[in-house]
Amino acid sequence: MSGLLLWTERRVLVADRVKHGDVEPGYFMTVHNQPDDVEAFRRFQHEVIDEFRGNGGVVGGAFDGSDLLLLTSLGARTGRAHTTPLGYLDIDERRVVIASAGGSSRNPDWFHNITANPTVTIEAGSETYRAVASAVPADDRDAVWAQVTAREPGYAEYQRNTTRHIPIVVLQRIPAATELDRARGLGEFIVEVHRWLSAELIGLLEQLDHIIASEDTSTPIIPPERDIHTQLRAHCLTFCEALELHHDGEDAGAFPLLADSYPGLAPTLKRLSDEHIVVARAGREIRELVEAYRPRHGDPGELRRRIAELAATLEAHFAYEERTIAEALDSIAPAPTVE
């Protein structure tokens, strides 16, 4: 069989795998044992994506008549966007995709991505929308799986080929801002609070830089200590109290609302709540350090180091929170009125 005919035959095989939950280059090379096939598969996948986008969500050939969508997720490690063509089913008014990887022994990369970053972009037909992607809970999986395999028996074969429980992923649509009757959403408000808190931390670090510079023995002129240190303590008190109020408000108010509307975000909200505990502990420690600091007797360099550590932790926390839940928050409540 010529190389072209062999690859054409394989395209049909890969098309079947894509329709039934995605195939990845690693799986394809394992099956065919030819490293060149990995690059060929990538080209084939890009051809499918290009045809989908250029033809209003319709792909011909081996995909003719198939229900396909494009799922764009953020890499769990890299944060880079990855687009994957997948077959989908609509079951009990829920759109689902199956992380079968053609019966491979491991979950596909896109599933690892949505576990870390559940907010994804979906292209279906000529429509593009944002969604929360989450695995069907274990206590519901068997019932949904029965419906999946009744409609698409090929998935049952894939399950027989692997010892892992193939995940079923629900894609819960997030209403777009244009569909909501509000000027600003709760997610936008939280992003604004994050920016203010970040600016407050920068202000603390700048004041400490001023103190460190002024107490350098090589600096002949020392600014009045009372003014800068009083400002530092007041600034820290304002920041620490605001941070505690912000996270307490999320844990007690925004997060329960979000969990009710988007059950698939439960693991993400648990992680964020756990991070709030760590951040609160660091904030209390910094407040104690600032309040105990005395000019010429304390170590402003150590204080600055600890605040810089908190700043890095907070920025990572804010970025994850904004990436995973801000859009969903926008959809459930308007921004509060602050006077």
Question: Over the stretch 8-51, which tens digit does the pLDDT of each residue have?
Answer: 334 444 555 555 555 444 333 334 444 456 677 778 888 889 99
Tell me how crowded residue 197 is: count the other CB atoms within 10 A of its CB.
Answer: 18
More confident of the two residues 167 and 14: 167
Q: What pLDDT does 248 receive?
A: 67
For residue 147, pLDDT beyond 90: yes
Token representation of residue 325: 């839940």
Residue type, 18: V
Q: What pLDDT does 333 receive?
A: 75
Q: Which residues contact 205 (CB under 8 A, 6 or more apart)?
A: 304, 307, 308, 311
Q: What pLDDT does 339 receive?
A: 52
Model-wide pTM > 0.75 = no
Q: What pLDDT does 36 receive?
A: 53
Instruction: For strands 81-91 and 119-124, give the pairing.
Output: unpaired
When pLDDT is cut at 50, 70 and 90, the band that residue 75 belongs to is very high
Task: Domain ranges for the chain, please list them.
Answer: 3-29+60-174, 186-332
Question: Over the stretch 250-307, which tens digit does the pLDDT of each residue have?
Answer: 666 678 888 888 999 989 988 888 888 877 777 777 777 777 776 666 677 887 888 8
- Name the strand (E) or helix (H) holding 144: helix 138-151
More confident of the two residues 134 and 183: 134
Flag the least confident range among 61-65, 130-134, 224-228, 324-328: 224-228
Q: What is the Cα–Cα distance from 65 to 57, expressed in whole angstroms?
A: 11
163: phi then psi, degrees, rounded to nearest 5: -85, -15
CA dihedral 249, 254, 260, 265 (to 10 degrees): -110
- Average per-residue pLDDT in the chain? 77
Token representation of residue 289: 């350090």
Q: What is the Cα–Cα distance from 147 to 270, expressed in whole angstroms?
A: 30
Q: What is the Cα–Cα distance from 194 to 273, expressed in whole angstroms?
A: 16
Which CATH code is given to the segment(s) 186-332? Answer: 1.20.120.520
How many residues belong to the chain?
A: 339
Of 327, 323, 322, the closest CA to residue 175 belongs to 327
64: phi then psi, degrees, rounded to nearest 5: -55, 125
| DSSP letters spanning 190-233 | HHHHHHHHHHHHHHHHHHHHHHHHHT-TT-S----HHHHHHHHH
CA atoms within 13 A on the CB side of 276: 18
Fold of 3-29+60-174: Pnp Oxidase; Chain A (2.30.110)
Token representation of residue 191: 């992003």
More confident of the two residues 127 and 198: 127
Of 45, 326, 11, 59, the closest CA to residue 188 belongs to 326
